[in-house]
């Protein structure tokens, strides 16, 4: 923002109370979120970077992200950066709720039994939420009971004292922290005081049980192994496997498709969905999807837009008509390939209505699941003979990686692309990661228009020879100049 254009905020902004997100953890001198938000909105534009070198519990960083800015957050205190990171981290709320309910159901009864007290009004068992102590003696109990609304107070009775005594004699079964606190008499921490000294025995029993159940989530992961989660190898920098980690299943190629391509796919979705869209709108939607370290820089988003879209008079972006036309052609190309397979006397699976029957090849279910996502598969005698991926824009990496689910090196593999996109795709497959796979599996390019001409020629014929069909694919030579640029590009 240019200095001259700034009209400074010259009035007070009344602070609002913190929302529950900010109350997850206590932090000192936390600033009111709405005031911070007003300043961010006033002094920066969407897509710009907000820096807070003393971020504390993260109010500035969180508000910056909430309002479409990027953020750099620094703090001397690792607890501060931990709280900030944990508050920002995206959470699958449905899964979180599911696990929370499971844990709650497991511990609720046991924890409640520690805090039971007798309601003096109805004589039924109620649950205590606080005890007031005078020195070493408990005097008052705060509790809730179904016989009355809200919280109630009562004096400590004999049953309460017995309960406290029982608890004192209980051995804590599960782990709890016993590390020594930093000696600081200013905050009443004396030499030898431990983290556990901050809690009553009763609270320690309850908290250590909750902690134990949370840790037990790993058990849940194990039970769901190969259903919802998978164990994947973790490699060190030299590529040596050093262990395994959990990974959510069905998150397709999150670890294999490059970020740039995923950004491209999201941008295409936006362009397909909306007639025209502003750069800021695209950025906002992308930032919401790619948070933290994954956030791409604005330049790479701009490059994607330039590749696929044109500028309208009012400065917005609209999908190029040619690209839209090619997008619309996708399913008819798939259908042509399905029909041609039939004419060639092979059996066909295609990912379009009416062609989705896939036999159980001698392959693991996991592979079959991925094979179902391939556009067209031709097969004969239980062997997949040809696979086709019809690609207009993005997704080439995913298509090629997906192809490895057909392990046979005899399968002929084609990427069917619009002619005008060849150079772009060629550039992609020249990237080292893909190049290896393209060569290993012998992928070939086939062009939309060449295929359409062939199809038209053979439309009325009942049969088409496989060898004739296989003459269609060509790999046209790129002009020398382009090759040079490409080599330069891939280095
Ligand atoms: C008042 S708190 C910030 C609170 C924050 N504005 C919020 O709303 O949550 C100040 C923070 O500055 C951090 N701090 C102090 N000296 C620092 C230094 N030299 N470098 C980085 N952080 C520092 C402290 O650890 C503390 O978290």
At 143, give phi and psi (nearest 5°): -150, 165
Q: Is residue 231 part of a domain?
A: no
Q: Is residue 249 part of a domain?
A: no
Pocket of ligand 1 from Cβ distances under 6 Å: 27, 29-31, 53-54, 56-57, 59, 74-77, 80
C-alpha span between 131 and 164 (Å, rounded): 11
Q: What is the pLDDT along the chain (491 residues), one digit of tens a residue?
A: 556 678 888 888 898 988 888 888 888 888 999 999 999 999 999 999 999 999 999 999 999 999 999 999 999 988 898 889 888 877 777 777 888 998 999 999 999 999 999 999 999 999 999 999 998 899 999 999 999 988 999 999 999 999 999 998 998 988 888 888 888 888 889 989 999 999 999 999 999 999 888 877 765 566 666 655 666 665 554 566 666 666 555 443 333 566 777 788 888 888 888 889 999 999 888 888 777 666 777 887 888 899 889 999 999 999 998 888 888 888 899 999 999 999 999 999 999 888 988 888 888 888 888 899 899 999 998 899 999 999 877 677 888 888 888 888 899 999 998 888 887 777 777 766 677 778 888 888 889 989 999 999 999 999 999 889 988 866 654 443 333 333 332 22
Instruction: Indicate if 440 and 394 belong to the same structural domain.
Output: yes
Beta strands in 93-159 (DSSP E): 116-118, 125-134, 137-144, 151-155
Contact 441, 296 (CB under 8 A): no
Instruction: Indicate if 168 and 203 belong to the same structural domain.
Output: yes
Task: State in Å: Cα 55 to ligand 1 middle.
Answer: 6
Q: Which distant-in-sequence residues (6+ apart) come within 8 Å of 415 by Cβ?
A: 388, 389, 391, 396, 399, 400, 425, 443, 444, 445, 446
> What is the residue-wise DSSP string for 333-373?
HHHHHHHHHHHTT-EEEESSTT-------SS-HHHHHHHTT
Nearest CA to ligand 1 atom 18: 76
Task: State in Å: Cα 27 to ligand 1 middle.
Answer: 10
Instruction: Indicate if 289 and 166 belong to the same structural domain.
Output: no
Instruction: Indicate if 354 and 464 belong to the same structural domain.
Output: yes
**Domain CATH code at residue 7:** 3.40.50.150
Instruction: Indicate if 311 and 352 belong to the same structural domain.
Output: no
Task: State in Å: Cα 81 to ligand 1 middle.
Answer: 10
Instruction: Indicate if 206 and 313 belong to the same structural domain.
Output: no
Task: State in Å: Cα 44 to ligand 1 middle.
Answer: 22
Task: State in Å: Cα 46 to ligand 1 middle.
Answer: 25
- Buried residues in 18-34 as b, exposed as e (16+ CB within 10 A): beeebeeeebeebbbbe
Q: Is residue 174 part of a domain?
A: yes
User: Mutation test of ligand 1: which of 63, 71, 80 has the most ligand atoms closer than 8 Å to its C-beta?
Assistant: 80
43 SS3 class: helix
Predicted pLDDT at 204: 95
Atom of ligand 1 nearest to the CA of 55: 5
User: Mutation test of ligand 1: which of 34, 50, 51, 54 has the most ligand atoms closer than 8 Å to its C-beta?
Assistant: 54
403 SS3 class: helix
Nearest CA to ligand 1 atom 25: 77
User: Mutation test of ligand 1: which of 76, 84, 86 has the most ligand atoms closer than 8 Å to its C-beta?
Assistant: 76
User: Mutation test of ligand 1: which of 23, 75, 87 has the most ligand atoms closer than 8 Å to its C-beta?
Assistant: 75
Which residue, of 70, 88, 106, is where some domain finishes? 88
Atom of ligand 1 nearest to the CA of 52: 6
User: Mutation test of ligand 1: which of 17, 33, 55, 85 has the most ligand atoms closer than 8 Å to its C-beta?
Assistant: 55
Rounded to the nearest 10 degrees, the angle between the axes of helix 396-403 and helix 422-429 is: 60
Instruction: Indicate if 272 and 418 belong to the same structural domain.
Output: no
Task: State in Å: Cα 236 to ligand 1 middle.
Answer: 34
Task: State in Å: Cα 69 to ligand 1 middle.
Answer: 21
Instruction: Indicate if 80 and 125 belong to the same structural domain.
Output: no
**Domain CATH code at residue 328:** 3.40.1350
Predicted pLDDT at 365: 82
Per the structure, how many domains does the chain have? 4
Instruction: Indicate if 315 and 337 belong to the same structural domain.
Output: no
185 SS3 class: helix
Sole residue written with tokens 């067209």: 376
Instruction: Indicate if 74 and 186 belong to the same structural domain.
Output: no
Instruction: Indicate if 452 and 328 belong to the same structural domain.
Output: yes
- Whole-model pTM: value is 0.45
C-alpha span between 256 and 245 (Å, rounded): 16
Task: State in Å: Cα 162 to ligand 1 middle.
Answer: 46
Q: Is residue 254 part of a domain?
A: no
Distances 198 to 204, 238, 294, 321 between C-alpha atoms, Å: 9, 45, 39, 67
CA angle in degrees (0–180, nearest 5) for 266-288-80:
145
C-alpha span between 424 and 150 (Å, rounded): 67
**Domain CATH code at residue 305:** 1.10.10.10
Task: State in Å: Cα 176 to ligand 1 middle.
Answer: 29
Which residue, of 88, 106, 139, is where some domain finishes? 88
Q: Is residue 241 part of a domain?
A: no
Which residue, of 88, 122, 151, is where some domain finishes? 88
Nearest CA to ligand 1 atom 5: 56
Strands of the sheet containing 443-447, edge to edge, are 347-350, 376-380, 383-390, 412-417, 443-447
**CA neighbor of 260 nearest in space, from 234, 286, 232:** 286
Around 279, how many Cα atoms within 13 Å sit in the side-chain half-sphere?
A: 18
Task: State in Å: Cα 11 to ligand 1 middle.
Answer: 25
Atom of ligand 1 nearest to the CA of 56: 27
Task: State in Å: Cα 295 to ligand 1 middle.
Answer: 25
Range of the domain at 190: 95-215
Nearest CA to ligand 1 atom 17: 76
Predicted pLDDT at 69: 94
Q: Is residue 251 part of a domain?
A: no
User: Mutation test of ligand 1: which of 39, 56, 87 has the most ligand atoms closer than 8 Å to its C-beta?
Assistant: 56
Task: State in Å: Cα 76 to ligand 1 middle.
Answer: 7
Contact 339, 355 (CB under 8 A): no
Q: Is residue 294 part of a domain?
A: yes
Q: Is residue 245 part of a domain?
A: no
Instruction: Indicate if 363 and 458 belong to the same structural domain.
Output: yes
């Amino acid at each position: 923002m240019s200095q001259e254009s700034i009209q400074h905020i010259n009035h007070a902004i009344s602070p609002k109370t913190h929302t529950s997100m900010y109350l997850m953890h206590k932090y000192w001198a936390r600033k009111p979120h709405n005031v911070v938000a007003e300043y961010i909105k006033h002094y920066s534009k969407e897509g710009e970077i907000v820096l807070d070198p003393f971020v504390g519990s993260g109010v500035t960083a969180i508000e910056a992200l909430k309002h479409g800015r990027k953020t750099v957050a620094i703090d001397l205190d690792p607890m501060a950066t931990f709280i900030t990171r944990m508050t920002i981290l995206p959470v699958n709320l449905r899964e979180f709720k599911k696990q929370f309910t499971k844990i709650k159901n497991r511990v609720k009864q046991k924890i409640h039994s520690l805090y039971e007290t007798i309601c003096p009004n109805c004589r039924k068992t109620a649950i205590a939420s606080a005890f007031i102590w005078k020195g070493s003696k408990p005097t008052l109990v705060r509790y809730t009971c179904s016989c009355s609304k809200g919280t109630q107070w009562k004096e400590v009775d004999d049953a309460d004292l017995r309960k406290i005594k029982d608890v004192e004699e209980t051995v804590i079964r599960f782990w709890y922290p016993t590390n020594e606190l930093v000696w600081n008499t200013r905050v009443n921490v004396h030499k030898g005081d431990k983290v556990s000294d901050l809690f009553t025995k009763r609270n320690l029993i309850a908290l250590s049980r909750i902690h134990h159940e949370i840790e037990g989530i790993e058990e849940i992961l194990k039970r769901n192994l190969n259903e919802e989660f998978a164990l994947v190898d973790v490699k060190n920098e030299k590529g040596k496997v050093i262990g395994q980690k959990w990974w959510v299943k069905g998150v397709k190629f999150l670890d294999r498709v490059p970020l740039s391509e995923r950004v491209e796919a999201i941008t295409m979705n936006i362009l397909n969905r909306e007639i025209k869209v502003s750069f800021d709108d695209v950025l906002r939607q992308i930032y919401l999807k790619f948070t933290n370290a994954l956030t791409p820089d604005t330049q790479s988003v701009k490059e994607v837009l330039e590749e696929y879209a044109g500028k309208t008079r009012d400065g917005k972006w609209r999908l190029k008509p040619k690209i839209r036309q090619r997008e619309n052609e996708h399913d008819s190309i798939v259908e042509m390939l399905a029909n041609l397979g039939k004419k060639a006397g092979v059996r066909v699976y295609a990912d379009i209505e009416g062609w989705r029957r896939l036999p159980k090849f001698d392959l693991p279910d996991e592979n079959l699941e991925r094979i179902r996502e391939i556009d067209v598969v031709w097969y004969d005698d239980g062997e997949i003979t040809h696979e086709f991926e019809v690609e207009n824009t993005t997704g080439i990496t995913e298509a090629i990686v997906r192809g490895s689910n057909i392990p046979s090196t005899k399968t002929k593999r084609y990427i069917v692309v619009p002619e005008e996109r060849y150079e772009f795709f060629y550039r992609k497959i020249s990237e080292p990661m893909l190049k290896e796979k393209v060569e290993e599996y012998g992928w070939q390019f086939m062009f939309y228009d060449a295929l359409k001409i062939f199809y038209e020629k053979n439309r009325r014929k009942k049969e088409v020879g496989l060898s004739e069909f296989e003459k269609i694919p060509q790999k046209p030579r790129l002009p020398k100049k382009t090759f040079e640029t490409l080599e330069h590009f891939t280095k």
